[in-house]
Amino acid sequence: MSEFQQMNRKDEHLLHALNQYQSESHPDFQETRFVHQSFSSVPFEEVSLETKLLDLKLSCPFFINAMTGGSAKTKEVNQRLAILAHETGLALASGSMSIATKDASTIDSFKILRQEAPDNLIFANLGAHHTLENAKRVVDMIEADALQIHINTPQELIMPEGDRDFSNWLQNIEQIVAHLAVPVIVKEVGFGMSRETIQQLHSIGVQVVDVAGNGGTNFATIENARRTRISYHELGDWGQSTIVSLVEANSIPKVNRPEIIASGGVKSPLDMVKCLAMGAKAVGLSGTILQLVHQEDSLPSAIRIVKEWQEQLQTMMCLLDCQNITDLQQTDLVLSANVQNWCHARQID
């Protein structure tokens, strides 16, 4: 794939992601319900939003998930994302830095993240075909606190210029996890994960997994829109929703699974709190945050909205009688009939 193609692709992804965004949450989110209890012993002021991923401390359990970089336009978006993170204390992931390993002129579009958010947790990002050497390079480039490795076979296959051979991915990931100095997070890109995938990742030493389910930004639809021949419309619904992916993760005994991040279609603090109650240690948002910052003058309102989400999250935790994120895992949730059917078919209790 030429670098020109790749730069255009980043701009196109932004455009399509913005156009396809829907503000309503996926039915699996909407139909997952908390059981209301009338008493709470936790004062609002005592609710803590802190969480941890391995040894990384997050002051807020939701973060800006991987999106962009690699072109002039995406540098501007990255700058706004980093300022938003800096002003609100959110952790922040870079978009894929693959282009930066090949074309030095694009490195600034990623370095801007560290420049604008010098003290935030920042995650670098690469595809699973990359070597350990590239992984070290991109982490150094932005002084990243962790590396995200994305796995995206449906996207690659639908993308006309995408990869067609994924046979070395698990070995590459294993190498990187074993030798990189910072933690590695393996993430999907909106197709979700099964318990088998999570178990495979755990067996090669992966300690943090982001299930990134469907229900939000849809890379089957985005890549389909970029195609000129052979359409793949029927793959628009491919994969597991975020709630189903969490159910899959929870079907593995806790000692035998990585720490779980939930993302994919998260639109509101209520979606976030459901993910956390279902065992996620942190929650990532891409499409919803992109909506907040895509316009040049959007930063003040984006900062205000993110601060409101933080307060709303605290409110819901108070309502659920939870002082911290760990307490949330003790709350009672009722799953939708669809999700229960999935559990039945997959023999998940």
Rounded Cα distance between 223 and 226, Å, is: 5
Nearer to ligand FNR, 73 or 86 (CB): 73
CB 31 within 8 A of CB 336: yes
Q: Which of 7, 14, 90, 272 binds ligand FNR (CB under 6 A)?
A: 14
- Piece of the chain touching ligand FNR by CB under 6 A; list 192-200, 212-220, 246-254, 339-347: 212-220
Name the minimum Å distance from CB 38 to ligand FNR: 33
Name the minimum Å distance from CB 290 to ligand FNR: 5
**Tokens representing residue 117 in the block:** 């958010």
Amino acid at 208: V
The annotation status of 9 as a binding-site residue, yes or no, is yes
* Rg (the chain; Cα; Å): 19
Span 285-324, contacts to ligand FNR by CB under 6 A: 285-288, 290
Neighbours of 270 (CB within 10 A): 16
Contact residues for 58 (Cβ-Cβ < 8 A; gap 6+): 50, 51, 52, 91, 121, 282
Question: What is the per-residue binding string for ligand FNR in 56-85, x denoting contact by CB under 6 A?
Answer: ---------xxxx-----------------
The annotation status of 155 as a binding-site residue, yes or no, is yes
The annotation status of 311 as a binding-site residue, yes or no, is no
Rounded Cα distance between 306 and 50, Å, is: 16
243 near ligand FNR, judged by CB under 6 A: no
For residues 257-269, one letter each, b for 16 or more C-beta atoms within 10 angstroms of the residue's C-beta and e for the rest, the string is bbbbbbbbbbbbb
Nearer to ligand FNR, 67 or 277 (CB): 67
Binding residues for FMN: 66-68, 96, 125, 187, 217, 265-267, 286-287
Residues that bind ligand FNR (CB under 6 A): 13-14, 17, 65-68, 95-96, 125, 148, 150, 187, 189-190, 212, 216-217, 263-266, 285-288, 290
